[in-house]
Structure 1
Amino acid sequence: MVLQNKTILLGVGSGPLTWLAVDVLRGLQRAGAHVHVVLGAEAEVFVPALTFQTLAGEVVWPAQDCYGMMVGGHFRSLAALMDAIDAIVVVPANPALLAKAAMACADEALIRAILLHTGPTVMAYPGQARPYQHRLVQRQLAVLRDADIVLWDEAVRETEDAVDELGWVMSPSEIVAVVARQLSSPVGVTNGETS
């Protein structure tokens, strides 16, 4: 298995699809990956950090600790953590996270982690939801594609009147599969995931 013994950083965005990050975490673990979790701003409004800490068996990195945090009486550097990371997956990548990443606005730990990382980065979001169709968001997505960030926007409408993220669902197993494909591809090859 491609993910066996790989170290993955799960970035958790905020919004109605934050719960999906829990299922992605479990899927990565079932595939044999060791997972570290970094919370995006306001992610805990939707799913508490303790949920991720319990499942990952690791201290969860809070959004405000951009450079490091104290763990067991010792300083743990975000840069040192990122040196051990094979891939990043951000779920859900809401418009605010996409814009911050595109502009390299590292005012939270998750964006700084993305900037410190040199391997594959996957950002998953419900691309058909109306906020993601706005021209401003589309411009940010183009910047991210140009930076070789893999944008996975496959989602299924749950209700006929779905407009924003509330009415869409994404497949955790498909997101895990995208991460696995990125780790099995030569550097710089995205297998069309960014289209």
Structure 2
Amino acid sequence: MQESFSTGEIAKFCQVNLRTVIRWIEAGKIKGYKLPGRGNNRVSREELLRFMQEYDMPIPDVLSQPAISDTILIIDDEAPFANAIQRALRKAKYATVIANGGFQAGVMLKSFKPTLITLDLSMPGLSGYDVIAFIRSQEDLANTKILVISALPSHKLKEALEAGANDVLSKPFDNKTLLNKVANLITG
């Protein structure tokens, strides 16, 4: 599982200023990457642990424990829904990242290789159906579980299942149903 952290989260872990973390990344002391289209720096759990050990920094309990769960990529162009999904999943201790559209999702799928994605079908640019087709055509992503979360009518959700989604959930949804479906897909 690959979990990543923002520069703000790293600053809290290391008890330094946010700008200090950015300087560490710019100087190459810690390897980070930028999220496409946003420019925000992220650092993987493994890289952060390597850096903190190399510089003899105390490692917070939250980092010293092995990661609790699998990475989930949330693909939804509507920020309120993406954030609601992320809050529910993070509360259940899942590592999450958000892609706000189909193109960004393609880049993040290749970077993170998530165990599961939640996917809205109605997005500008690449539709959810295009994303499903892309995932199912890629050998290295073929085992990625796909949970479609959409407000489209039931016949459209059925089409998503026929296209290769593993399960569907109608918007609006309740968190208990979301977490049950995610757990079943990851463990199944």
TM-score category (smaller protein): 0.3 to 0.5
The structure that is helix-richer by fraction is 2
Using the size of structure 1 for normalisation, the TM-score is: 0.37
